[in-house]
Amino acid sequence: MLQKTSEKPRKSDNVLVLVRHGQSEWNRLNMFTGWKDVGLSEEGEAEAHRAGLLLKEEGLVFDSAFASTLKRAHNTLDIILGELGQGKLPTVKAAALNERDYGQLVGINKEEARKRFGADQVHVWQRSYDIAPPGGESLKDTAARVCPFFDRWIVPELQAGKNVIVVAHGNSLRSLIMELDKLTPEEVQDYSIATATPVIYRVKADGTLVEKRNLAA
Ligand SMILES: O=C(O)[C@H](O)COP(=O)(O)O
């Protein structure tokens, strides 16, 4: 995993950009989604275009692109790359980056789940580190597939000086950012990621992280 340094960022640093997909149809309906492969809503497509324009304003050009195998993520990536004029960049789709499996909660409206199981219990399932929803994955389980994939396939790209974009999901990215930012299980409970809001890490040639920024519209 990449380490952090307190050195100042430099223009020559390369970047790792992490983006949660734009609003999906089931985000719009406030339903637990997990591995269900639902598409982007109209608003989600618009958000993805806005994220692409924000990255364009930053002057970013990517050398490598990764997304999950779920269409809300790789469609968001396609829209972003289109805005950047990089629609031909080959992209890697990996199931290891898929959203956390929400098990028996999938397809249930989140408000309805709070009424049925209690708000505190649902919050524990949504945000705790090592407690899984029934039949699903905890954040720890999710990290156990996301982080090894990141180390195996993405870190070498960054260490080779490439600019990398990764489009994935609220919880698969939380598990990765927990590792990158060295968040404790308590800290990660309060950490959530907005849809289509790029998180930019600057990465030095030796692979250390120098700066993290959120690109809010
Ligand atoms: O799978 C889902 O329902 C969402 O993508 C993430 O849900 P959460 O923000 O409730 O964890």
Residue 169 belongs to a domain = no
Residue 203 belongs to a domain = no
Residue 211 belongs to a domain = no
Residue 73 belongs to a domain = yes
> Which residues 6+ apart lie within 8 Å of 123 measured at CB?
none
Q: How large is the ipTM?
A: 0.94
Residue 117 belongs to a domain = yes
Question: Which of 212, 209, 211 is closest to 4 using CA atoms?
Answer: 209
| Inter-residue contact 201 to 46 (CB < 8 Å) | no
For residue 170 and ligand 1, the question of a CB distance below 6 A is answered with yes
68, 126, 178, best to mutate for ligand 1 pocket (most atoms within 8 Å of CB) = 126
Active-site residue identified among 99, 137, 157, 169: 99
pLDDT for the residue 6: 67
Q: Where are the alpha helices (DSSP H) in 29-169?
A: 42-57, 71-83, 110-117, 119-127, 139-149, 155-159
Residue 54 belongs to a domain = yes
Along the 217 residues of the chain, how does pLDDT read in single tens digits?
A: 777 766 666 666 899 999 999 999 999 999 999 999 999 999 999 999 999 999 999 999 999 999 999 999 999 999 999 999 999 999 999 999 999 999 999 999 999 999 999 999 999 999 999 999 999 999 999 999 999 999 999 999 999 999 999 999 999 999 999 999 999 999 999 999 999 999 999 988 777 888 899 987 6
- Which domain range does residue 39 map to? 17-59+69-162+182-192
Residue 198 belongs to a domain = no
> How is the beta sheet containing 91-93 ordered, strand by strand?
91-93, 64-67, 164-168, 14-20, 199-203, 209-214
- pTM for the full model? 0.94
Whether 99 is a known active-site residue: answer: yes
pLDDT for the residue 9: 63
| Inter-residue contact 195 to 95 (CB < 8 Å) | no
**What is the number of the ligand 1 atom nearest to the C-alpha of 34?**
1
Find the CATH number of the domain harbouring 116. 3.40.50.1240
Residue 171 belongs to a domain = no
To the question of whether residue 129 is assigned a binding role by annotation, the answer is no
d(CA 169, CA 184): 20
Number of domains in the chain: 1
